[in-house]
Chain A
Amino acid sequence: MITGRVVRLGDDVDTDVILPGAYLNVTDPQELGRHLLEGYDPEVAARVSAGDVLVAGRNMGAGSSREHAVLAMQGRGVQAVIAESFARIFLRNCLNLGLPAIEHPDAARALADGEQIHIDLAAGTLAGEHDHWALPAQPPFLTELLADGGLVPWVRRRLQTSDR
């Protein structure tokens, strides 16, 4: 169960503004977290706090494949990302790193900045202060990946159970 405060972002938030290229030689999540959204809007960047949930419009995470963008979110304590739609690589990176990324156009449009929300991934529900939604069913493969805790434990399990 995730409970957090919404920080609203716009459409086409690219990974360059989430984590500018100048910091791509940093790999520590905490240090990356200090630069989260630095290229987007300094005011928004300053008020993202541990426990927050980012809610974006269309094409969230467009552009560069930099996993650093997701590491920065985790380093800052962001609990989940909700969007009308995601860019492909960013969505994969979230799933692989175990950061819940929820594609839900209605919820992403309705949730307001500062709103308290509750996400229950096991029950498949998402609730804001004024409305609630059912989460879309996950394909079995992604359920397995999330149950393992992301791609690192998933691969570790495969390496241990194979003859490799």
Chain B
Amino acid sequence: MSAPRTMTAKVLAAHGIEDVTPGAYGLARVDRVMINDVSGGVAMREFARMGAERVFDPSAIACIADHFWPAKDVRSAEHVARLRTFAREQSIEDYFETGSTRAGGIEHTVLAEEGLVLPGALVVGGDSHTCTAGALGALGIGFGSTDLAAAMALGEVWLRVPETIAVRFAGTPSAYATGKDLILATLGQLGVDGAAYAALEFLGPAVDALDVDGRLALCNMAVEAGAKSGMVAADETTLHWLRPRVADPAALAGFAPDPGAAYEREVVIDVDGLAPLVAVPPSPGDVHPIGAVAGGVKVDQVYVGNCANGTLSDLRQLAQVIGGRRVAPGVRLIVVPATQAIERQALEEGIIATLVDAGAMISPPTCGACFGGHMGVLAAGETAVATTNRNFRGRMGHRDSRVYLANAYVAGAAALTGELVDPAEVLR
């Protein structure tokens, strides 16, 4: 009988890592490998240079066109064409491209929606926000392209066993605080390298109370603290969400840390009465309550979307704030449903009509302007409020543009008023 283990240690031990002592090195078997049109270009080239001919298991690979998709120029179109060809030649069925029969969207949301992330699984992806998979009780880890090439060739990745930090939330947040605010609170407390190389496990009643969308937002930004991963236990909320999305619902099971599991560190974050938070540029770790930054920040663009907060819950929150009003003069509102399925449901609920009537531009699902790619890039001197995950210098465009990170309520309030303001003052 081994000592009680964290979720992270249990996943690693179940995937071939014999010594789960932090700092040990080993080769882990992977359940799911994801590449996109950006990481995929280099990964496919290195796969060939390795002398690999076939992927280890076509059913374990997902290829998703999302960063420069719909193709913004010839070069981007050719990357997606190569990704599409690779998937066909390798018999990879999980190829997703928004606008086609395998309707897609933003990779991490697609993986979750399509039932490709299961509790206890090891998910590796060519994108740093692969930690989003932790929302469903999986160990999701982001890698660079050459690691992904190796994973596709061998079905394994090399890794160093991380220290595991328990992040325990105490108390009940206020009505307009969301999963986004739990992770911003974490970043404010830990700092941008406070969890470097470590695995995070999020615990406490405030996490249990989150729906899956809120948990996706929470786990998504674990990497912004330097973490390797961020996980939430898979409970009935998780299983209820997954059942209609998998081929064999009866095989689904919850996943949690063993009682008494020993963490290298425990961090307690008081979120009782927590108000919405804002990360001030240029650091996701420079976090302040909305009340402390409200007033005096003039906003040019509001961007609601991305792998952290482009879910149906985010669109509902945004529409709730807008509620039949129009965006402030001089402000543009860009809304990016993370997937076509979310877009479809938002249409059904009348959310899209509410937003378009307010003046919003609805983008197809894409990583778009979040990383400064296309579809809403900022000019010099412009300021955005975004539900995205990074506000680094120049992240969304010109190096002299600025991005404030916040939840969809705050984004909606900024769209209506043209400034950072507490959504409680705008909601009626």
Q: What is A's interface to B at a CB cutoff of 8 Å?
A: 12, 14, 16-17, 20-22, 24-27, 39-40, 58-59, 62-68, 70-71, 85, 87-89, 92-93, 96-97, 139-142, 145, 150-152, 154-156, 158-160, 164
Contacts and interface: CB of A to CB of B under 8 A. Distances in A.
A24 B390 CA distance: 16
Given A14-B392, A16-B372, A88-B226, A27 B42 contact: yes
11 contacts: A16-B371, A17-B392, A24-B67, A62-B193, A64-B371, A65-B144, A97-B146, A151-B146, A152-B46, A152-B49, A155-B149
B393 A88 contact: no
A156 B47 CA distance: 9
Contact of B196 (A22, A24, A85): A85
A66 B392 CA distance: 15
A160 B68 CA distance: 36
Given A59-B196, A67-B144, A85-B196, 18 more contacts: A12-B192, A16-B395, A17-B394, A24-B67, A24-B373, A25-B38, A27-B41, A66-B38, A87-B226, A88-B197, A89-B143, A139-B160, A140-B25, A145-B158, A151-B149, A155-B50, A155-B150, A156-B51
B164 interface: no
B45 A141 contact: no
B50 A156 contact: yes
A21 to B, nearest CB: 4
User: How many residues of B sit at the interface, in one of the four size bands?
Assistant: 35 or more
A58 B320 CA distance: 41
Interface in B17-43: 25, 38-39, 41-42
B290 to A, nearest CB: 24
A63 B129 CA distance: 9
B371 A67 contact: no
A25 B79 contact: yes
B146 A62 contact: no
A96 B394 contact: no
B300 interface: no
B373 A22 contact: yes
B147 interface: yes
A12 B391 CA distance: 13
Nearest to B285: A12
Contact of B193 (A58, A158, A160): A58
Interface in B245-270: none
Interface in B117-154: 126-128, 142-147, 149-150, 153-154
Interface of B: 25, 38-39, 41-42, 45-46, 49-52, 56, 67-68, 73, 75-76, 79, 126-128, 142-147, 149-150, 153-154, 158, 160, 192-193, 196-197, 223-224, 226, 228, 283, 371-373, 377, 390, 392-395, 399
B366 to A, nearest CB: 13
A103 to B, nearest CB: 11
B22 to A, nearest CB: 13
Given A16-B394, A68-B42, A87 B50 contact: no
A39 B192 contact: no
Contact of B144 (A26, A93, A160): A93
Contacts of A14: 390, 392
Contacts of A59: 192-193, 196, 226
A25 B82 CA distance: 12
Nearest to A71: B42
Given A16-B371, A24-B373, A96-B146, A64 B128 contact: yes
Contacts of B223: 63
Contacts of B127: 64-65
Contacts of B143: 65, 89, 92
The 7 A-B pairs with the shortest beta carbon distances in the complex, nearest first, are A21-B371, A67-B144, A21-B372, A93-B144, A59-B193, A65-B128, A141-B25
Contacts of B394: 16-17, 20, 39
A16 B75 CA distance: 20
Contacts of A155: 50, 52, 149-150, 153-154
B330 to A, nearest CB: 25
B193 A85 contact: yes
B250 to A, nearest CB: 33
A31 to B, nearest CB: 11
B360 to A, nearest CB: 23
B60 to A, nearest CB: 15
B196 A89 contact: no
